[in-house]
Amino acid sequence: MKKVVLAYSGGLDTACIISWLKERDYQVIAFLADLGQQEDLEMLRERAQRTGASKVYIKNLQQEFVQDFIIPAIKANAVYENKYLLATALGRPLIAKYLVDIAHQENADTIVHGCTGKGNDQVRIELAVNILDPRLKIIAPLRIWEFKSREQEIEYALKKEIPVEVTKSKPYSLDKNLWGVSIECGLLEDPNNEPPEDAFQMTKSLLAASDNPEYIVLGFEQGVPVSLDGKTYAPQDMIEKLNEIGAQHTIGRTDLMENRIVGIKSREVYEAPAGWIILTAHKELEALNLDRITSDFKQVIADQYARLVYQGLWYSPLKRALDAFIAQTQKNISGQVRMKLYKGCCTVVGRNSKYSLYKKEFATYTEQDKFDQGLAEGFIKITGLPYVGNG
Ligand code: ARG
């Protein structure tokens, strides 16, 4: 029997895939990655077994996800098209790495995934698998199987006694992990519809948000958030805690008309409470501690970095090179940022650092002023020299 390793999420698609592959004489090894999606993983294991998987691997990868994927994204300030913190995109290369490992361990020569032919995740998983082991083959059932609609797939699932949870009451396509949730489909497919409140998975509605502003102080060491209100947290605990706090204040909802890798525009809604709090604070500390040209250049890099991650090029040489540049910029990104969380906004209200480049004696308008204003005249004349008289 041909052996395959399936990236199994526990949702309808990957459950149907198990059954579909079995019908075609494949032995299916399911791999479920725990990236902090907070689902009942044992129940999903049981579902995979019942549907016909010969073996189910469940691995808690949260620690590795935070250390090797989320933290680099924080240091980079990685945001795609101004609104997407890349939660899904960051998870895929990690999942792919384990798919490849398990395939080696199990002597399987094929990886199977449940991504559609229109999305980004197929590109991310296949590119990563190709880079990590080009000998492995790929099967993407959703691109080739006979079901032409969701309805047909549900009909098949019912026939195979696969539990169907995607009903009219749960009409969205979701992908959740520690770094946030991506929400698509249903009413959101019309870009003119306001996202209904039930689309949101992590944050309270603005109406239910706390009526009192909450102040927090986030401490960073070399670009990594390490403390909250003076208390030290491991990064993973910090993210969980900030997700909770941010959710109370409706922080981190975005609504994006997104350019997908395959050229389609799609409407995507995201939530990333901890992510937006951390990135807002991190950028602020960089504004305080980075010199101007490094800061300017780093913004260009941030955009390129986000695109690389989005496009599935995590395991590319350029990505490694950018990481090296970014790491160099983070040496002095230590300090504290005070923030106010209130009704959907997270506002920086204070910042301090022993590496601050702010010099009060230059900025002040009081008699403590040490800035030699006389120098400005020559500076302006020389700066204007190439242009004067050319207007
Ligand atoms: N558009 C996002 C991305 O490409 C999210 C995709 C999420 N997938 C899902 N099943 N909702 O990263």
* Residues belonging to the chain: 391
Distance from the alpha carbon of residue 382 to the mean position of ligand 1, in angstroms: 51
pLDDT of residue 233: 98
Would you call 210 a catalytic residue per the annotation?
no
Q: Which of 240, 342, 358, 236 is nearest to 289 (CA)?
A: 358
Asked whether the predicted pLDDT for residue 363 surpasses 80, the reply is yes
Measure Cα distances from 16 to 26, 124, 152, 160 in Å: 14, 22, 11, 8
Would you call 121 a catalytic residue per the annotation?
yes
| pLDDT tens digits for range 347-361 | 999 999 999 999 999
Distance CA 329, CA 291 (A): 10
**CB 35 within 8 Å of CB 62:** yes
| pLDDT tens digits for range 263-286 | 999 999 999 999 999 999 999 999
Distance from the alpha carbon of residue 283 to the mean position of ligand 1, in angstroms: 25
120 Cβ closer than 6 Å to some ligand 1 atom: yes
Which of the four pLDDT bands, split at 50, 70 and 90, describes residue 389? confident
Pocket test for ligand 1, best of 184, 258, 260 (most atoms within 8 A of CB): 184
Would you call 255 a catalytic residue per the annotation?
no
pLDDT of residue 29: 98
Would you call 316 a catalytic residue per the annotation?
no
Distance from the alpha carbon of residue 175 to the mean position of ligand 1, in angstroms: 7
Catalytic position from the list 45, 47, 92, 351: 92
| pLDDT tens digits for range 154-195 | 999 999 999 877 554 568 999 999 999 999 999 999 999 999
**Architecture of domain 2-171 in this structure:** 3-Layer(aba) Sandwich (3.40)
Catalytic position from the list 121, 182, 267, 351: 121
Domain ranges of the chain: 2-171, 176-352
Pocket test for ligand 1, best of 14, 83, 84, 120 (most atoms within 8 A of CB): 120
Percent of the chain with pLDDT over 90: 95
pLDDT of residue 169: 53
| pLDDT tens digits for range 226-236 | 999 999 999 99
**CB 386 within 8 Å of CB 369:** no
Asked whether the predicted pLDDT for residue 143 surpasses 90, the reply is yes
Query: Closest residue (by CA) to atom 8 of ligand 1?
Result: 175
Which atom of ligand 1 sits closest to the CA of residue 266? 1
175 Cβ closer than 6 Å to some ligand 1 atom: yes
Percent of the chain with pLDDT over 70: 99
Catalytic position from the list 19, 173, 182, 266: 173
**CB 176 within 8 Å of CB 247:** no
User: For the structural domain made of 176-352, what CATH number should be given?
Assistant: 3.90.1260.10
- CA-derived radius of gyration, the chain: 24
Q: Give me the chain's average pLDDT, please.
A: 96
What would the mean pLDDT of 238-253 be, rounded to a whole number? 98
